[in-house]
Structure 1
Amino acid sequence: MSAYEKNEERLRALWQELMSDEENEKSGPLENNGTSDEYQPSSNDSDSSESCEPPPRKKQTRKEIGEVSLSENIANRPIINERGSYEWYPADGKALKTFSFTEESSGFQSRLYGLYNKEAVDFFRLFVNNDILDLIVLETNRYASQCVQKDSLPHSRIQKWTPTDRDEIEKLLGIIIWMGLCPFPSMQSYWKKNTIYPNCLPSIISRNRFQVLLKMLHFNNNENLTEDRLQKLSPLIEKLRESFQQPIIPSEYVCIDETLVPFRGRLKFRQYIANKRHKFGIKLFKLCLEYGYTYDFKVYCGKSKDENVSVPSKVVMDLMEKLLDQGRTLCTDNYYKSVNVKRI
C-alpha cells in the first residue's frame, strides 16, 4: 500500500469516527437495564432525541427591528434566522448621529463690501493680502543677501542688489499675470522699443531689475531644511489657505474633488493622468463651495508614510477638519467612499 493510500485510509477512519460521535450526541443518554448492553427505549423517552435539541431561534421581523430605541445601536444586535445565519435588513436610520445646519450667516461676509471699491485689483488684494506680500519681501531679501555673500564675482548683477519692498513685489506679481494674458515670443520682447511690441513695462520696471527679482523670489528660508516636499512653498500655501477662508462662511453643501495644474517641469510629485486635457501637472485636492469657490486646497505630494490611513480618508479629514459636526453635507465621487470616511 502506497503512502497516499495509507493517508486516505486514515482520513476515512477519522471521518467515520467523527460522524459516529455526532450520532451518539443526537441520540441522547443511553439507559442500561443491567442485563444487556443494548439500549431499550421506554415510552417516556421516546421523544428524548427531540427534547435534547435546542429550541429554534425566533426570527425577528422588520416590525420588531423598527422598535429599537434611539440609544441602541442596531449594528450590535445580530439578526439570526432559523438556520443560524445572519440576515440583513434595510437600515431605518434611527441609530444614526444627525446634526442640523444652523449657520445663519453663511456666504460672503457683508462687512467686506465697504472695504473695497469692487475693482479687479481690490479682489486681487483680498486674497494676496499684506501678510503674503510681507512674507515674500522678507524671504526674497534674505535669499538675496545669502547669494551676495556666496557670490565671489565682483561685477555680477547680484552685487548691485537693493532690498525690495511690498509695492515692488506687488508690481512683480501683476506683471507676471499680465505676461500670461499677453504672451510675447521671449522675455526680452516685453522691453523692446519696437512698435510691434506695444507695452508699458519699461516705464514700470527695468528688465535687469525684473530678472533679478524673478531669480531671487523666495517664500521660505533655505537654511530650515525639512523632509517636506513643499518646504519651499509651505508658508505661502498656508497663508493662501487662510486668505481663501477669511472672506466667506461655507453654506450647508460642500464638495471635495481633485484638479490638475498643468506643469511639465522637473518635479518629483508630478502626476500623469491620461484622461485629462493636460496630462502632466500638479494634483490638487480642493474643497469647493457653491458657484465653484475654492474654500480650501491641498497639494498632493505622493503617498504619506502613514500606511494605516488611505489617501482619500486623509484628504477628507484634512480639508473638513474645521467643518465637522456642524450639519453640513459633503458631496464626493466614488473615489472618496471608504469605511473611514463614512465614520466621520
Structure 2
Amino acid sequence: MLKKIGREEQQAIQASESPEDSESDNSENELAGEFSPDDTDDSTKEDSSDSEEKGSSDSEEEKSSDAVAVQQKHEEPDATVWTSKDKKLMWHPTHEVAGHYAHPRIPTPGPTLYACARLTSPESAFALFIDDEIVEQIVEMTNLQGLRTSNRWSLLTPQELRAYIGLLLLAGVYRSRHEATSSLWGEKTGRPLFANAMSHRRFAEINGMLRFHNVQKPKQHHANKLSPISELWSRWNFRLQKMYNVGRDVCVDEQLIAFRGRCNFKQYMPSKPAKYGIKIWALCDAQTSYAYHLEVYTGKPPNGTRETNVGMCVVLRLTDSLEGHTVTTDNFFTSIPLAQELKKKRNYLLGTIRKNKPELPSKLTKITGRKPLSSIFGFTRDLAVVSYVPKKGKNVLLLSTAHKAPKVDNGDERKPQMILDYNKSKGAVDHLGQACGTYSTRRRAQRWPMSLFFHMLDISAFNACVLYKAVNPSWNAKKRYIRRLFLEELGNSLIMPEVLRRKPETAAGEKQAAEQQHEAAAPTTKRKQCHLCTEKRIASNACDKCGNPMCRKHMKNICKNC
C-alpha cells in the first residue's frame, strides 16, 4: 500500500515538472545508457514525445534495458563450445553431450564351424584356403600354357603341384629365399629332401609355365588390370572370410609386395623396405593378425576417372560384411565422413587424424603454450577427439566413435585411454607382414602374378597356423617356434606323396632315418654300476648278449666275423 501511494505521488510530481526538466532527465537517461535502440535512430522522435510517454518512462526504460540485456546474452559466444574450421560442427570439452550406444553382438571370434569340422592336421588346415578347386584351376591353366609353348612338356598333376608348393614352404623354413634354386639341389650345398621330391629341371619347368588364367584371351587386360589372377584371387579371398570370425577390434592398413618388374600398377613407397612393388589393402584381426580381407590396388581405373576419397572407399569395401566391430586405421584413412558412414553400418572407428581436417576446431590443433603430457578432449553426439602432447612441439590427434568419456591413464606418460586402445590394435597388419617375411615362399620372379601367388601361399600358411593353434591349443604349446614347426610339418606332408611315387625305397629309408634320428635325440638311460667290478665303477656300455652294464676294463674288441 505504501509503494502504491509513493508511485502516485511520483507521477504527480513528474506531471507538474516543466518540459525543460523532462529534457534534462532524458539527457541524463541517455548518458546512463538506459534507452531503447529505436530512440537513437532519429533525434526528432525525442522532441515529439507527449506527456503520456513521459508518465510511463520508468516502466518502458525497465523493459528496454531487459531487452538489451537478453539480446547481448544471445550475441555473446559460449566459451565452452568450440567451432570447427568449416563452421559446421560444434565441439564440447565435456562428454555430457556424447550419446551412449550399446555394441551389437558379433559372432564368437575364432574358426567357424565349417573350418573346425575339417581341421585334423596342418595339411587339412592349409587345404581350407588352397583347396582342390584352386589346385585344379592352376593345373589346367599351366598345362594349357605348357602344351602351347613346349613340345617336351609333361602334364602337371595336382599331386605334383602340391609337392611344388611344399618345396616352396620348406625353402622358406630354411631361410633360402635369396638362395639360388640350383644350390638347393646341389650335391654339396643342397638338401636330399628336395632331390627326392622333384628334380631341379622339373621344378624350373613348373616355375616358368605356372599360369592362373587362359592366356588366349588378351582382351580381358583392358577391362581388368588384375585379369591374369583375378578369378583365383577372388575365390581365395572368399575362403579367407569363410573360415574365421574376427574379434571386436580389426585393423586396416596397407602392404607392399616387393616387385621391380613390368607392372601397370606398380607403386613406389619410400617408407617401405622394398620401395617398389604391388600395394595391397589388408583387413586383419587385431588379436591374431588373421588376414580376413585383402584387396589389390590397381591404380587409376581403365575408364580414366580417378577415384576420390580413396582411403574412405577402401575401408568401406573391406568392412562391407562386418557389423559391430571397431576399425583401427591410420591418418591416411581416418576422416569424419568415414566415421559417419561406418556408424550407419553399426561399426566404430578409431584412428589418428590429420590436423588439416576442416571439421576439427583450432583449439585442438594448436599446441602453443601447452605443457607436455597434457590432453584436451572434444566431444559431439557421435564423435570424440583427443589432442595429446607427448613432448614439446608434437601433437597427436585421435578420432573415435567408440569412446564416450575423457579417460586418462595414471601412468608416467598420462596417455588417454583412446591412445592405449589404438596402440593395442594398430600393428596387426604390420605383424602379418613381418611373420610372412620371416619364412617366406617368395622367389625371384619376372611376372607379377607369380609375386601375388607367393603372397597367397604365405598368407594361407599363416592363417592355417592360426586356425590349427586355435583348435589344438596344446600342440607344441611349450615351444616358442611353433610356426616354424607347423610349416615344416606342412611342407613334408605335401611332398611325401610325390616322394613315395618317385622313389619308394628312398622314402622308406628317409622315414627310417628320421625315426632313428628321433630315437638318438631322445634322452638315454641312466648309467649303472659295472656288473663285474667289485669296487664302485660307473659303466657307460652294456653287453650285446646279456645286456648287463660293462666298463672298459671288462670289455674286449672283436671283429665282425668273429
Question: TM-score with structure 1 length normalisation?
Answer: 0.67
Matched residue, 2:127: 125
C-alpha separation between the residues in 2 aligned to 1:176 and 1:112?
25
Query: Is 1:227–2:219 an aligned residue pair?
Result: no
Q: Which amino acid aligns with 1:168?
A: E
Cα distance in 1, alignment partners of residues 126 and 88 from structure 2: 60
1:175 is matched with which residue? 167
**Contact 1:99-1:327 at 8 Å conserved across structures:** no
Change in Cα spacing, 1:161 to 1:57, as seen in structure 2 (3 Å) is farther
Q: Please show how residues 299-310 of structure 1 align to structure 2 within 5 Å.
A: 299-304=296-301, 306-307=305-306, 309-310=308-309
Selected match of 1:298 from 295, 300, 303: 295
Is residue 2:254 matched to residue 1:273? no
> What whole-Å deviation, never above 9, does each CA across 1:257-281 have from its counterpart, x for those lacking one?
1222233333333333333333333
Deviation digits for residues 82-117 of structure 1 (CA, Å, limit 9, x no counterpart): xxx9993527234x8x56321243322255344233
Cα displacement (A) at 1:322:
0.7
2:311 aligned counterpart, secondary structure: helix
Larger proportion of helix: 2
| CA distance in structure 2 between the partners assigned to 1:103 and 1:206 by the alignment | 50
Of the candidates 142, 150, 157, which is equivalent to residue 140 of structure 1? 142
Is residue 187 from structure 1 mapped to residue 181 from structure 2 by the alignment? Answer: yes
Find the counterpart in structure 1 of residue 98 from structure 2. Answer: 93
Are the equivalent residues in 2 in contact too, given 1:283–1:299 (CA < 8 A)? yes
The more displaced of 162-171 and 181-190 is: 181-190
Quick one: distance in 2 between partners of 1:127 and 1:87?
47
- The equivalent residue for 1:75 is none
After superposition, residues 181-260 of structure 1 pair within 5 angstroms as: 181-182=173-174, 183=176, 186-192=180-186, 194-222=187-215, 223=217, 224-260=220-256
Distance 2:111 2:260 in 1: 36
* Unaligned ranges ≥5, structure 1: 1-22, 32-38, 62-78, 149-157
- Residue 341 of structure 1 and its aligned partner are, at CA, apart by 0.8
Q: Aligned runs of 1:103-114 on 2, under 5 Å?
A: 103-110=106-113, 112-114=115-117
Structure-1 residue corresponding to 2:314: 315
Partner SS state of residue 338, structure 2 = helix
State the Cα distance separating 1:316 from its structure 2 match.
0.3
**2:159 maps to amino acid:** D
Flag the 1:89–1:298 CA change in 2: closer, same or farther, 3 A. Answer: closer
Quick one: structure 1 residues 30 and 229, their matched pair in 2 at CA, closer, same or farther if it must change by over 3 Å?
A: farther
Pairwise CA RMSD:
3.9
Offset, 1:180: 3.6
Is the contact made by 1:260 and 1:283 (CA closer than 8 Å) also made in structure 2?
yes
Tell me the distance in 1 between the aligned counterparts of 2:222 and 2:140.
20
Distance 1:28 1:99, change over 3 A: farther
Structure 1 residues 226 and 251, CA gap change in structure 2 (3 angstroms): same
Contact 2:183 2:189 in 1 (8 A): no
SS in 1 for 2:324: coil
- 2:71 matches 1:56: yes
- Give the residue type in structure 1 aligned to 2:252: I
Map Cα deviations across residues 155-207 of structure 1 (whole Å, 9 max, x no partner): xxx11223323212211222223334443853333344x24423233332233
Matching residue's letter, 1:188: S
Answer with 1 or 2: which has the greater Rg: 2
For residues 321 and 335 of structure 2, the distance between their equivalents in structure 1, rounded to whole angstroms, comes to 20
TM-score, length basis structure 2: 0.43
Gaps of 5+ in 2: 1-36, 77-81, 342-562
Distance 1:86 1:103, change over 3 A: closer
Give the secondary-structure state (helix, strand or coil) at the position aligned to 1:167.
helix
Tell me the CA shift for residue 313 of structure 1.
0.8
Which residue number in structure 2 is paired with residue 162 of structure 1? 154
CA positional deviation for 1:215: 1.7
Letter in 2 for 1:297: L
Q: Work out whether residues 287 and 319 of structure 1, in 8 Å CA contact, stay in contact via their aligned partners in 2.
A: yes
8 Å Cα contact 1:303/1:311 also seen in 2: no
The residue type equivalent to 1:331 in the other structure is: T
Q: Cα 1:317–1:25, aligned 2, differ >3 Å: closer, same or farther?
A: farther
Distance 1:136 1:177 in 2: 18
Within 2, Cα distance between the matches of 1:134 and 1:142?
A: 12
- The one-letter code matched in structure 2 to 1:189 is S
Q: Secondary structure at the match of 2:223?
A: coil
